[in-house]
Amino acid sequence: MSDAVTVSNRDGVAVVTLHNPPVNGLGFAVRTGLQAALEAAATDGAVRAVVITGSGKMFSAGADISEFGKTPPPGTPHLPTLIDALEASQKPIIAAIHGVALGGGFELALGCHVRLAAPGTRVGLPEVTLGIVPGAGGTQRLPRLIGVPAALDVIVSGTMVPAAKAQALGMIDEVVEGDVVDAAVACARRYVDEHRPLRRASALDDKVAEARGTPEIFGEFRKKMARRARGFEAPHACVACIEAAVNQPFAEGLATERETFLRLVASDQSKAQRHAFFAERQVAKIPDVPKDTPTLPIETAAVVGCGTMGGGIAMNFANAGIPVTVFEVSQEALDKGLAIITKNYAATVSKGRLSQEAMDTRLGLISATVDYGDLAEVDVVIEAVFEEMGLKKEVFGKLDAVCKQEAILASNTSTLDVNEIASATGRPDKVIGTHFFSPANVMKLMENVRGAQTSPQTIATIMQLSKTIGKVGVLVGVCDGFVGNRMLYAYRRQADFLLEEGAFPQQIDKVIYDFGMPMGPYAMGDLAGLDVGWRIRKGQAATRPSHLRYSTVADRICELGRFGQKTGAGWHRYEPGSRTPIADPEIEQLIVSISEAQGITRREITDQEILERCMYPLVNEGAKILDEGLAQRPGDIDIVWIYGYGFPRYRGGPMFWADLVGLKTIYDVMRRLHDEHGDWLEPAPLLKKLAEQGKGFGDL
Ligand code: T1G
Ligand code: NAD
């Protein structure tokens, strides 16, 4: 027996325990150990039943994802074969589940004859989030156990189902109090002593038979998932596998599932989504801030400025159960900010995604003041006032005077120099940027900006806080626009130049939308409000390098008072109450007149040119950021773009996507664009180096 699997005999019941910390991944050693344990139990007359469980925090998080794509491929036994043999056992096999049973871990449990779970357990088949389908019988056994509609929801969403709901659905048989292994051993004995028949999921048909008569279930489900699954292959493949469970005998359905799994696991989409899985876990690892760096307790918080961002930021604290005080310049501004918070919660309650009681609890955690003195004892302050350096330094000076010495002072600035803000205080080691994304109570990303003097303790505390308030924190360095917005400017700048050269906003938006972004740059600008960017550009006008090309199109539109959806028109126009962008001839005429005024002869712009001219400079800027050490890893940049800008997860983020395209291709196009369109497009040294070496960002 390998160390990965141990067996203890409890009076005729073999308890088989998986040992592969931290998540009991079903890697090769576990699979061979399991096979040996089951074969031994099958042939040992003294063993009358088997219980399978996992050591440590959980039952199992499924297949070892790091094995995928490896050459040579993972050795036999493969999981499907193992589970088929287990299910066919004549001796009862009981799964004793705690923590989580996910993916292949839950498929293992589905092969057992009974599934018992401890309270607090979560089970599920999240393979779709990795760009694959469950590959060890999950798409064939689960519909037979819980029916097609429920199986479609569970498998296509990839969500983790809490124990009580899982029992109600039939995913598990019972939630047991006390030690789940003891309960499983007792259950096994009952099965033996009472000669109870063994229930094999693969043999069940009644639940799938119901769907056999109503194939429209799948059509309706495909319609329902279309928007969320846009661009992803795996959700559609999951539906097709469940359809096979309805229309094919078990063995054939299993073969269909296996063929689908093997095709997808080798796909670029799955490679991209697996990259995102690991990259998301890597962002928390900061070489010069060791895992055991002591953090400061964050039990209370404050937010200064309760506008578009401040309100959402305050909600994050309340949602995490942390009392938060919002501060504003006047009672009127305070009331306006609190009203928006209340409206946002009420909207969530009306959609049934939050109970009224929870809303009241959260509002109860939000207090309001116009007196700085009320912030004296909070553990952290997030400043979200207008994007003006003078104002921010004034606010930080006041906070430094009133807040207790150990309080962390953070700024939600989207572009300004955190070091200069810190210079307004006597505690630069406790000053950090915490750049939330709009809407701040929804978007998962926090770009945490370390200043030159920000201490490891402050960094560790804020990275931990990101997790506590349900965000993905990525540590970045100080520069104009940090990581996300700096790359956004490089892409947006070229889009504006393309407008002057022959394109129109709707064409560019369509190309970027079809590429997989939630929306194009102009629809996004209209949503966020064009005045925010205009205020920033005006602030930068004095320092803008005169030798570099600058497009005036955006400024000209703002000068017309067109700030986007909030004014009913921006780059596009909007019918009252509608968020659907409509191409506006007035804007097209304005753009044509700007081209003429600049002596630019407008030309046909292809969609491919738009994609290259927008996305390659974005990647190139990412390479410059890595060159300057302002992001730790290419994967961190990918996570910033996936969670901050909705970059399609099935492309893995801009840096991973660049490797799929090939850095040589991107470098060659950047060189051509640089020759044709000037300095903004100079290839980054890192891009040049890697392209010439035939390497990718993934090799860093
Ligand atoms: N394989 C390899 N490594 C894994 C892993 C896995 N399945 N799950 C987690 N890790 C690593 C992770 O990278 C991290 O490493 C450490 O474990 C702790 O994870 C045939 C083919 C279980 C809810 O999709 O959702 O089965 O950073 O930081 O917050 O159909 O991990 O420390 O070096 O996330 O407590 C399907 C994936 C696989 C579940 C725990 N299973 N895991 O969360 O810890 S495909 C999944 C999770 C499959 C079959 C198919 C979470 C968790 P490091 P962590 P956590
Ligand atoms: P906003 O105009 O909606 O809100 C700013 C609030 O600050 C207003 O309510 C104002 O009354 C208040 N305020 C001004 N001076 C103050 C003072 N001295 N003390 C207390 N409150 C004061 O602006 P916003 O969009 O919420 O932006 C706030 C900050 O967040 C800016 O730094 C901005 O760059 C940044 N940010 C904005 C976005 C976005 O999409 N809007 C995204 C990320 C970061």
Model confidence at 616, pLDDT cuts 50, 70, 90, reads: very high
The residue type of 369 is: T
What residues pair up with 661 in beta bridges, in sequence order? none
Mutate which of 315, 329, 396, 640 to test ligand 2's pocket (most atoms within 8 Å of Cβ)?
Answer: 329
What pLDDT is recorded for position 539? Answer: 81
Annotated active-site residue 107? The verdict is yes
Of the candidates 39, 67, 107, 500, the residue annotated as catalytic is 107
Of the candidates 87, 127, 233, 383, the residue annotated as catalytic is 127
Ligand 1 center–CA 489 separation, angstroms: 35
Ligand 2 atom at shortest distance from the alpha carbon of 333: 11
Environment class of 204 (CB within 10 Å of its CB; exposed 0-12, middle 13-18, buried 19+): middle
Mutate which of 65, 98, 100 to test ligand 1's pocket (most atoms within 8 Å of Cβ)?
Answer: 65
- Bond from prior residue into 72 cis (ω within 30 degrees of 0): yes
- Over residues 162-185, the mean pLDDT reads 98
CB atoms within 10 A of CB 556: 15
Task: Please give the distance of CA 459 from its chain centroid, rounded to a whole number.
Answer: 21
Ligand 1 center–CA 2 separation, angstroms: 22
Selection from 462, 445, 432 nearest residue 641 by Cα: 445
Q: What is d(CA 244, CA 233) in angstroms, rounded to the nearest whole number? A: 17
Q: Which ligand is nearest to the CA of 447?
A: 2
Cβ atoms 195, 118 nearer than 8 A: no
- Sign of the torsion formed by the C-alpha atoms of 554, 555, 556 and 558: positive
Is pLDDT at 286 greater than 90 in this prediction?
A: yes
Nearest protein Cα to ligand 2, atom 15: 385
Ligand 2 center–CA 564 separation, angstroms: 18
Question: 408-427 pLDDT, tens per residue?
Answer: 999 999 989 999 999 999 99
Ligand 2 center–CA 385 separation, angstroms: 4
Place of tokens 């959402």: 312
DSSP code at position 214: -
> How long, in residues, is the chain?
700
Q: Which ligand is nearest to the CA of 412?
A: 2
Ligand 2 atom at shortest distance from the alpha carbon of 383: 29
What pLDDT is recorded for position 405? Answer: 97
Is pLDDT at 18 greater than 80 in this prediction?
A: yes
Nearest protein Cα to ligand 1, atom 22: 61
Cβ atoms 396, 425 nearer than 8 A: yes
Selection from 430, 310, 435, 307 nearest residue 379 by Cα: 430
Q: Which ligand is nearest to the CA of 26?
A: 1
- Sign of the torsion formed by the C-alpha atoms of 153, 155, 156 and 161: positive
Ligand 2 center–CA 470 separation, angstroms: 22
- Over residues 556-585, the mean pLDDT reads 95
Ligand 1 atom at shortest distance from the alpha carbon of 158: 24
Phi, psi torsion values for 410, nearest 5 degrees: -120, 150
Ligand 2 center–CA 369 separation, angstroms: 16
Model confidence at 1, pLDDT cuts 50, 70, 90, reads: low
Mutate which of 18, 20, 23 to test ligand 1's pocket (most atoms within 8 Å of Cβ)?
Answer: 23
Q: What is d(CA 38, CA 50) in angstroms, rounded to the nearest whole number? A: 8
Model confidence at 679, pLDDT cuts 50, 70, 90, reads: confident
Question: 69-116 pLDDT, tens per residue?
Answer: 888 877 889 999 999 999 999 999 999 999 999 999 999 999 999 999
Task: Report the b/e string of 345-369 with b at 16+ CB within 10 A.
Answer: beebbeeeebeeeebeebbebbebe
Mutate which of 330, 414, 531 to test ligand 2's pocket (most atoms within 8 Å of Cβ)?
Answer: 414
Ligand 1 atom at shortest distance from the alpha carbon of 134: 30
Ligand 2 center–CA 336 separation, angstroms: 13
- Over residues 450-479, the mean pLDDT reads 98
Ligand 1 atom at shortest distance from the alpha carbon of 125: 36
Environment class of 250 (CB within 10 Å of its CB; exposed 0-12, middle 13-18, buried 19+): buried
What residues pair up with 6 in beta bridges, in sequence order? 17
Lowest mean pLDDT segment, chosen from 25-29, 150-154, 513-517, 678-682: 678-682
How confident is the prediction for the chain on average, in pLDDT?
A: 96
Q: Which ligand is nearest to the CA of 524?
A: 2
Task: Please give the distance of CA 684 from its chain centroid, rounded to a whole number.
Answer: 28
Selection from 657, 667, 659 nearest residue 692 by Cα: 667
Question: 3-state DSSP call for residue 495?
Answer: helix
Cβ atoms 649, 292 nearer than 8 A: no
Q: Which ligand is nearest to the CA of 331?
A: 2
Is pLDDT at 547 greater than 90 in this prediction?
A: no
Q: Which residues does 674 contact at the CB level (< 8 Å), separation at least 6?
A: 681, 682, 683
Q: Which residues does 14 contact at the CB level (< 8 Å), separation at least 6?
A: 7, 8, 37, 40, 41, 44, 47, 49, 50, 51
Task: Please give the distance of CA 80 from its chain centroid, rounded to a whole number.
Answer: 29
CB atoms within 10 A of CB 3: 9
DSSP string, 245-292: HHHS-HHHHHHHHHHHHHHHHTSHHHHHHHHHHHHHHHTT-BTTB-TT
Give the global pTM.
Answer: 0.95
Ligand 1 center–CA 23 separation, angstroms: 6
Question: 3-state DSSP call for residue 128?
Answer: helix
Question: 491-546 pLDDT, tens per residue?
Answer: 999 999 999 999 999 999 999 999 999 999 999 999 988 998 898 788 888 888 78
Ligand 2 center–CA 119 separation, angstroms: 44
Conformational region of residue 234, where left means phi above 0, alpha means psi within -120 to 50, and beta covers everything else: alpha
Ligand 2 atom at shortest distance from the alpha carbon of 436: 43
Nearest protein Cα to ligand 2, atom 9: 307
Q: What is d(CA 377, CA 175) in angstroms, rounded to the nearest whole number? A: 44
CB atoms within 10 A of CB 693: 11
What pLDDT is recorded for position 70? Answer: 85
Please list every protein residue whose CB sits less than 6 Å from any atom of ligand 1: 22-23, 25, 61-66, 79, 100, 102-104, 107, 126-127, 130, 132, 134-136, 138, 278, 281
Ligand 2 center–CA 310 separation, angstroms: 7
Mutate which of 386, 402, 409 to test ligand 2's pocket (most atoms within 8 Å of Cβ)?
Answer: 386
Model confidence at 678, pLDDT cuts 50, 70, 90, reads: confident
Q: Which residues does 690 contact at the CB level (< 8 Å), separation at least 6?
A: 623, 663, 696, 697, 699, 700
Ligand 2 atom at shortest distance from the alpha carbon of 395: 18
What residues pair up with 477 in beta bridges, in sequence order? 450
Q: Which ligand is nearest to the CA of 484?
A: 2
Highest mean pLDDT among 250-254, 435-439, 562-566: 250-254
Annotated active-site residue 252? The verdict is no
DSSP code at position 173: S
Please list every protein residue whose CB sits less than 6 Å from any atom of ligand 2: 304-310, 327-329, 333, 337, 384-387, 391, 395, 412-414, 435-438, 528, 532
Phi, psi torsion values for 95, nearest 5 degrees: -95, 125
What pLDDT is recorded for position 2? Answer: 64
Residue 579 tokens read as: 């968020």
Is pLDDT at 675 greater than 60 in this prediction?
A: yes
Spell out the long-range contacts of 234-240 with Cβ–Cβ below 8 A and sequence spacing 24 or more.
234/127, 234/128, 234/130, 234/131, 234/132, 234/133, 234/264, 234/269, 234/270, 234/273, 235/128, 235/156, 237/133, 237/264, 238/127, 238/128, 238/133, 238/134, 238/139, 238/152, 238/155, 238/156, 239/152, 239/156
